Amino acid sequence: MKFADAHTPGRREILAGLLALPAGPVLAAPRVVAPPRPPVVTVLGDSITAGLGVRPGEAMPARLQAVLAARGLSVQVRAAGRNGDTSAGGLARLEGALGGDTAVCVVALGGNDLLQGLRPEATRANLRAILTRLRERRIPAAIAGVNAPALLGADYARRFNAVFTDLARDFAAPLLPNLLAGIGGSRRYMQSDGIHPNAEGARVIAANLAPVVVQALARSAQVAAR
């Protein structure tokens, strides 16, 4: 008895069979998660913040970022200083300086008010307006004050210096009472004009300011968690 030859499938049949098989699961491309951006600390100030007379990497904001990094804090310090700015000037450009990403604002204004002999009450009003806007935007503030020398008169110095301590109390803001503490009048730390810190002076200011900024960053984290 003769058996018929078994049918051998051709290429077309093999391809048709493969196409008829159920498709396997489609593997999604791995999701790339961008690292979180570091919080922005905006320093609203005058020529000391702007780094007049020193290189950008040696100015106070850059020094402050380095000091905070040494403490294990990854932050971006934004220098928002303008030469000659008074408290009124800082108030006028506040919104533009903050942008939409500021986590903490260091208010370092008042030195030019002092140099121009402006009324302490005017400085107080401008700084209060700045701090009020920051509070409305839920941005914690840190305050860097400037001490008035007694040669301007005891009453003037008392009224001017009280501006910073009073506002720090009213707004529960951490305070560095005197931005130039430990360096004012020193040839080692000041430029020849006797007003602006040199690179080494900026380093000292940053070291003094860092603990105040750390306090404000802690408050910022609390605000973000609410």
Q: Mean pLDDT of residues grouped by 10 in the chain (226 residues)?
A: 53 59 61 79 98 97 98 97 98 97 98 97 98 98 96 96 98 98 96 97 98 96 83
Please report the pLDDT score of residue 29 as a whole number: 64
Catalytic member of 46, 87, 113, 196: 196
Residue 207: other Cβ atoms inside 10 A: 15
Does residue 193 carry a catalytic annotation?
A: yes
CA distances from 160 to 52, 154, 167 (A): 24, 10, 12
Does residue 47 carry a catalytic annotation?
A: yes
Please report the pLDDT score of residue 224 as a whole number: 81
CA distances from 29 to 33, 61, 193 (A): 12, 41, 61
Please report the pLDDT score of residue 4 as a whole number: 47
Please report the pLDDT score of residue 226 as a whole number: 76
Are 61 and 43 in contact by the 8 Å Cβ rule? The answer is: yes
Catalytic member of 5, 7, 192, 193: 193
Are 190 and 201 in contact by the 8 Å Cβ rule? The answer is: yes
β-partners of residue 197 are 190
How many CA atoms, within 13 angstroms, populate the side-chain half-sphere of residue 26? 2
Domains of the chain (ranges; CATH) run 40-225 (3.40.50.1110)
Name, in order, each residue with C-beta under 8 angstroms of 20's C-beta and a sequence gap of 6 or more. Answer: none
d(CA 174, CA 164) in angstroms, rounded, equals 10
Q: In 18-27, which positions are buried (b, 16+ CB within 10 angstroms) versus exposed (e)?
A: eeeeeeeeee
Query: φ, ψ for residue 181 (rounded to 5)?
Result: -60, 130
Are 47 and 81 in contact by the 8 Å Cβ rule? The answer is: yes
Please report the pLDDT score of residue 36 as a whole number: 76
Catalytic member of 47, 87, 186, 220: 47
